[in-house]
Chains A and B, each alone.
Chain A
């Protein structure tokens, strides 16, 4: 049964490779990708269920016992995130044929898409630091392919910057792993955690911890390191932006969560204290950025940043409530960011511009789209019946439990700014007089609405049905507070 852990990586990998063979037969490749994403989602749901019943599944690759081989760890945390990834992927794959041009689809979109899912799932499941680097590269290489897909002027310009910053941070990642290897002599996360615990995290280990923070902070777009994110994210096709916005930064946050709940937990005055301040600055600057622009795509792209700040806040306060808040917010944010990018992409496609000043009265033409945007704005800002509320509530509860009142207030204040930034789109774009010059394209709108409705359904379910999900997420929080369980499950005997 331990082979279950490898399925979420292997299925999309094989699917992506096979998709190369018939990349020009669009009808076949579309159905094929949709069916395989469905199958993968089913398998992942089963694994999550299995892990929930029987505890984490650990696969020692090639039967080499733990510290010597590569381990794949499917615990509740990683499987929850892989399932969320697959839900987002499912919405995107049904949205893709409507939004992409035929040329883009023919040029291996589906292969890149599957490889991106492979990389993200692999990064969530792996239990080995160097393997994490390799999966990071798998997902980054796929994202390089996706970001230039189409080869427009803007894309070429922005992808240059995107590739450069990621190449630099990857090299920093390798260097940091080299540092850590020289100190503890292993790259297996469980064994690193054990050895760091034995050495009681001396100065050099804290330095390595901070270096890891810089590496993952660049991937996750935290305060001083987010400058690369907004513009490259809006350059490609909306469905690709949605995949990026939902998945890529969250892998960075997940790595921070793992590394700083498992390995570097002994000098919290230095590391976790730093996180709280960085989180505060990320919240402030991200939400100001979201207000600074009239480009609706850019507003959503900037909104990624304060969300990441919220999650970092949960890691920084270091208690079980904070961790469960981070996990809950991670799941909620992956879904709602994908939904928002898809919605904004649909608006841009239907109106023909992403400039807020040039649109008004869209609600007369596209009522359903308008109300869906309204709901997702509320989900994002954290209005009670929806999932954003529960996530923020638990996070702020964690902050208050740790006596961090200032950061809790900053979090609340930035929520207001986030609400303002998205409602501005609703008020100025959807309200107002009917614009007679627009001829509504209802058929196209319907195609866009279905995947978004699917994602919003999960957002609402996650909020309304919080009582069903919260106990398992709370147990993930406890699990993260006690890294011994993780270490024991891998290094048996």
Chain B
């Protein structure tokens, strides 16, 4: 199971990085979203995918899944959610102000 998940995370990273290298702003943001999905999936996988009950304390259950990676992912999700929403607003303002959403045209020179 871990191998399949690792491959999936790898595919997410690859498509994410491919999208990061595009010119259009929105594609880049989609790329960052894919990368954060890959990273979160990766944390889950790295905590080992043993079968077990969800980490809620109940009687008669011996095996639980690892609760720590889940807490880490939850933290990381809200952080990347915050950053992504900021990035979307920023892209909206930047493209409106500069009149283009093409990153190649946003180089700018030294003295402005």
Residues of B with C-beta under 8 A to A140: 83
A167 B32 Cβ-Cβ under 8 A: yes
A163 B72 Cβ-Cβ under 8 A: no
B46 A167 Cβ-Cβ under 8 A: no
Residues of B with C-beta under 8 A to A156: 90, 93-94, 97-98
Number of B residues, CB within 8 Å of A: 39
A162: min CB distance to chain B, Å: 10
Residues of B with C-beta under 8 A to A181: 43, 46-47, 68-69, 72
B98 A157 Cβ-Cβ under 8 A: yes
A160 B43 Cβ-Cβ under 8 A: no
B90 A171 Cβ-Cβ under 8 A: no
Cα distance, A167 to B16, chains bound together (Å): 12
B72 A177 Cβ-Cβ under 8 A: yes
**Pick from A174, A298, A354: contact of B39, CB under 8 Å:** A174
Nearest B residue (CB) for A186: B68
B111 A163 Cβ-Cβ under 8 A: no
A406 at the interface (CB under 8 A from B): no
Chain B residues 78 to 112 lying within 8 A of chain A, measured CB to CB, are 79-80, 82-84, 86-87, 90-91, 93-94, 97-98, 103, 106, 108, 110-112
A471 at the interface (CB under 8 A from B): no
Nearest A residue (CB) for B35: A171
Residues of A with C-beta under 8 A to B110: 293-295, 298
Given A181-B47, A182-B47 in contact, is the A153-B93 Cβ separation under 8 Å?
no
Given A156-B93, A182-B46 in contact, is the A168-B32 Cβ separation under 8 Å?
yes
A134 B79 Cβ-Cβ under 8 A: yes
Give the one of B42, B84, B106, B110 with max A CB within 10 A: B110
B14 at the interface (CB under 8 A from A): no
B83 A163 Cβ-Cβ under 8 A: yes
B76 A174 Cβ-Cβ under 8 A: yes
Cα distance, A148 to B36, chains bound together (Å): 23
B63: min CB distance to chain A, Å: 17
A35 at the interface (CB under 8 A from B): no
**Pick from B28, B39, B91, B112: contact of A175, CB under 8 Å:** B39
B57: min CB distance to chain A, Å: 16
Residue-wise, chain B 16-43 has the 8 Å CB interface mask toward A (1 for contact) of 0000100001001000100110111011
A164 B28 Cβ-Cβ under 8 A: yes
B98 A163 Cβ-Cβ under 8 A: no
Cα distance, A293 to B48, chains bound together (Å): 52
Residues of B with C-beta under 8 A to A171: 32, 35-36, 38-39, 80
A168 B20 Cβ-Cβ under 8 A: yes
Cα distance, A158 to B112, chains bound together (Å): 12
Cα distance, A159 to B90, chains bound together (Å): 8
Number of A residues, CB within 8 Å of B: 38
Given A144-B86, A160-B106, A163-B90 in contact, is the A178-B42 Cβ separation under 8 Å?
yes
Residues of A with C-beta under 8 A to B108: 154, 157-158, 231
Given A181-B46, A181-B69 in contact, is the A167-B80 Cβ separation under 8 Å?
yes
Chain B binding surface, main DSSP class: helix
A141 at the interface (CB under 8 A from B): yes
A366 at the interface (CB under 8 A from B): no
A106 at the interface (CB under 8 A from B): no
**Pick from B42, B46, B97: contact of A153, CB under 8 Å:** B97
B69 A178 Cβ-Cβ under 8 A: yes
Cα distance, A159 to B76, chains bound together (Å): 22
A151 at the interface (CB under 8 A from B): yes
**Pick from A141, A157, A172: contact of B106, CB under 8 Å:** A157
A171: min CB distance to chain B, Å: 5
A215: min CB distance to chain B, Å: 12
Residue-wise, chain A 167-210 has the 8 Å CB interface mask toward B (1 for contact) of 11011101101110110000100000000000000000000000
Cα distance, A160 to B94, chains bound together (Å): 8
B79 A153 Cβ-Cβ under 8 A: no
Chain A residues 123 to 167 lying within 8 A of chain B, measured CB to CB, are 130, 133-134, 137, 140-141, 144, 148, 151, 153-154, 156-160, 163-164, 167
**Pick from B36, B75, B86, B93: contact of A134, CB under 8 Å:** B75
B32 A154 Cβ-Cβ under 8 A: no
A355 at the interface (CB under 8 A from B): yes
B93 A151 Cβ-Cβ under 8 A: yes
Given A157-B98, A174-B43 in contact, is the A354-B90 Cβ separation under 8 Å?
no
A111: min CB distance to chain B, Å: 15
A48: min CB distance to chain B, Å: 30
B90 A160 Cβ-Cβ under 8 A: yes
Cα distance, A172 to B32, chains bound together (Å): 11
Given A163-B83, A293-B110 in contact, is the A178-B39 Cβ separation under 8 Å?
yes
**Pick from A167, A178, A293: contact of B83, CB under 8 Å:** A167
A178 B43 Cβ-Cβ under 8 A: yes
Residue-wise, chain B 50-76 has the 8 Å CB interface mask toward A (1 for contact) of 000000000000000000110010011
Sorted from nearest, which 4 A-B pairs have the closest CB atoms? Answer: A182-B46, A156-B94, A178-B46, A178-B43
- Which residues on B are within 8 Å of A, measured CB to CB? 20, 25, 28, 32, 35-36, 38-40, 42-43, 45-48, 68-69, 72, 75-76, 79-80, 82-84, 86-87, 90-91, 93-94, 97-98, 103, 106, 108, 110-112
| 17 pairs from A and B in contact (CB 8 Å cutoff) | A141-B82, A141-B86, A144-B83, A151-B97, A156-B90, A157-B94, A160-B94, A170-B80, A171-B35, A171-B38, A174-B40, A175-B42, A181-B43, A181-B47, A182-B47, A293-B110, A355-B111
- Which residues on A are within 8 Å of B, measured CB to CB? 130, 133-134, 137, 140-141, 144, 148, 151, 153-154, 156-160, 163-164, 167-168, 170-172, 174-175, 177-179, 181-182, 187, 231, 293-295, 298, 354-355
